[in-house]
Chains A and B, each alone.
Chain A
């Protein structure tokens, strides 16, 4: 990593009385794939538009390679066409009156490149996205995947400082989406371009990114690698946005050494759970006995069967039993909804499943996979 390429300092964009982007700080490193992830309306698209200059910030500064491209306090605003960025739009925005060649050549021509160089660079760019031979095809006669490749070639041809992708996979069908995701990542690794990617799809974000910023209400609530965010989310919002989790009510019974906790679950029958390791005490800074908490675990971490020889999992500890309320066949596995007292626990079971709805199932929650949250 060769240092910061793009920096946002206290950037805000205000529409009427709502802050679409609210004093946002971000630093994007050269050569990484950085993702803005969040539900619709969280301000991620506005952030992207602020970076390109399609929107004008109301507060704060944006620096590209250390140079201010927008600064409210200094009165600087570099217009979009002078920022040297590449962008793939959600709709791809392939100009319908131009051929593939002319679409891709457009940024070169706009920058005054002429003659044989245009031809050479366009064919190189088209080769990069595997679109050789499509030069004379009119824009509207392309499939969704081809349009995306044209948009990509067009965005990258002028060797922009940064490549911006605004939900580029959302209009592709599921299979093509997977394929384009892999291709994009390989392409980025080959070319080494910095990519800023905006999406609301957590699978896309997790699989594609080097780092992710999860956004909510115009702010970045957590920035980190996909693994960090998935395994150690700092807020329930992030935990739930990034994947499924099972949440149980409880009360801390005892605080042990090295952040070991014993938690008694609410309801009957009462059970004591053991939790350890630092990361699992997500939002409980100072755990104390008697404190009401939530326990949380990802369904795929729940293990069906008895805890048996699990180290540290004592006798009957972290074990549960319940009746299967619903069983969903998902193709590669079963999703199993288990009623435990008043709680619902979701877990996965590989195929073929010996279980039926109404049967009793035993499972346990490994102490290292559990996390504790303040209530």
Chain B
């Protein structure tokens, strides 16, 4: 009886077979671009030229001076950052989500801008403030305390830590946790209060345990997110010979001759270290027994009383601090003949702008950035709805695998994926002609924005009643007709958001494409990095301002369209 049934299941459906073919094609394509570069990395780390396979690369990696220090630095930075940023973030989250702090919408919006802002211009802003020689803050401190040298040095471990804190570390946690705490079913809390337990003990015994899975996931995500970073260390680290794993990979490929073997082995090492994090994250998100987000009743906001305005000042100050402060100095730098030297005769100029804007290298990079953004947007809008649809709506057998594959890229640091792509495109004669083209960059940046895009679409599809689709089938619409006339139009607002997110992610990306860029396909973000490494801070600032406008301007648009961004109800 069982075998008979199975026999028919294979023979029967015409509709499901074509659908199944399409699903398999999508799975194959996603699997190829996500997994193949990683497999290639693992294989290549064991490949020995002329001798098949062996541990030569691993031995070389371990012999490489500074390698173990780089891994140790990565771990140290990660742990310290979590320890500092988490309490700060939790305080802000609680203030924004659960108290009557004034203007919370605007403050949250500031955090959103900070979330979308590219890191590199912000790093430059902080250099302009904290450089030991010309940094504005150091100059002020020197004057006030009549010091010989500037007391603050951004080119140090603490400088790097500082910039991390001021860019993404805190911001990411605030963005991810605020909606969770805000949407938590208030009746859970109220039941505890009614049972005679005070607000603080309720926080400790109800709110925190209920939120524990979400907090764990966000912790893991921000550790993973930190491993993504590259540009901060790349700019601030080398001057005092400080490397983390990603800048180490980059350096190994920049020296002559390039150490592919050692770089690959290092990448695989980090990949292996991430496996437990990935498994833990998946495990927690899957076994979410706590239905924290019911949205039935909103909690009574905690009245801050006389702490209201100090709290407001603190959070708003932090919000400005994360965005406006460095950006102001970035803007200032573009108009100064030599940044920080106010005592020059005629210190102000617009020559940096005119020079950069008429530079053919800049114009090519601008074109590359726009092409890159447009391509990534197009790819996102064409592919992500299909992936999300298959995962949420079909009964395709391998849909859980597709779901995992679409999530995985967020856990793979850009530098490692970039290395995998480099080896894919250089190592195979089929793909080699594409190397140096903008297409390679589009693919690499799209993969890193895939997770967010697909997740957004998935959650929207889940909210969309299944019956809307079934009604179309019953009305005589085929699968394709239904997808075109019902699913896509309903998803249109989210699709705009997804497209904009893809655009922003592509134009600000540095880590994922640093290894893939040539002088022909170099986009603005990489141009800025190159200028900064060369010490051309004023030109770098001009490019940085333009990248800021390109990304945050688009983020503002996303905000206008994207009220369904999942952050506000």
Contact = CB atoms under 8 A, between A and B. Distances in A.
Interface of A: 14, 52-54, 56, 58, 72, 75, 77, 79-87, 89-91, 93, 95-98, 106-107, 110-111, 151, 154-155, 158, 164
Residue picked from B12, B13, B492, most chain A C-beta under 10 Å: B12
A106 B481 CA distance: 11
A155 B8 CA distance: 31
Contacts of B467: 89-91, 93
3 tightest Cβ-Cβ pairs between the two chains A and B: A93-B471, A107-B475, A93-B467
Contacts of A106: 472, 475, 477, 485
A52 B468 CA distance: 15
Given A91-B467, A95-B468, A56 B12 contact: yes
Contacts of A93: 465, 467-468, 470-471
A95 B470 CA distance: 11
22 contacts: A58-B5, A72-B12, A75-B11, A77-B13, A79-B15, A81-B473, A81-B476, A83-B474, A86-B474, A87-B470, A89-B467, A91-B467, A93-B467, A95-B490, A97-B486, A106-B472, A106-B475, A106-B477, A110-B476, A110-B485, A158-B476, A164-B474
Given A77-B13, A91-B465, A96-B490, 4 more contacts: A52-B473, A58-B5, A72-B12, A81-B475
A72 B10 CA distance: 12
Contact of A72 (B8, B470, B490): B8
A106 to B, nearest CB: 5
A80 B490 CA distance: 22
A41 B37 CA distance: 48
Interface string B474-495: 1111110110011001101000
B240 interface: no
B14 interface: yes
B545 to A, nearest CB: 39
A93 B475 CA distance: 12
A84 B476 contact: yes
Nearest to A76: B12
Given A77-B13, A77-B14, A79-B14, A97 B490 contact: yes
Nearest to B476: A110
B8 A81 contact: no
A151 to B, nearest CB: 8
A54 B472 CA distance: 11
B474 A56 contact: no
A54 B470 contact: yes
A75 B8 contact: yes
A84 B474 CA distance: 7
SS of A interface (majority)? loop
Nearest to A97: B489
A90 B489 CA distance: 22
A75 B12 contact: yes
Nearest to A151: B471
Contact of A80 (B8, B14, B473, B486): B473
Contacts of B14: 77, 79
Contact of A110 (B8, B465, B481): B481
B477 A110 contact: yes
A52 B466 CA distance: 15
A111 B481 CA distance: 11
Contacts of B471: 87, 89, 93, 95, 151, 154
A47 B479 CA distance: 22
Contact of A154 (B15, B475, B478, B479): B475
Contacts of A77: 12-15
Contacts of B465: 91, 93
A93 B471 CA distance: 6
A96 B464 CA distance: 10
B390 to A, nearest CB: 18
Residue picked from B13, B468, B471, B489, most chain A C-beta under 10 Å: B471
A9 to B, nearest CB: 16
Contacts of B481: 81, 110
A86 B476 CA distance: 9
Nearest to A85: B474
A110 B13 contact: no
Nearest to A166: B467
A51 to B, nearest CB: 10
A339 to B, nearest CB: 39
Nearest to A54: B470
A84 B12 CA distance: 20
Contacts of B474: 52, 54, 80-81, 83, 85-87, 155, 164
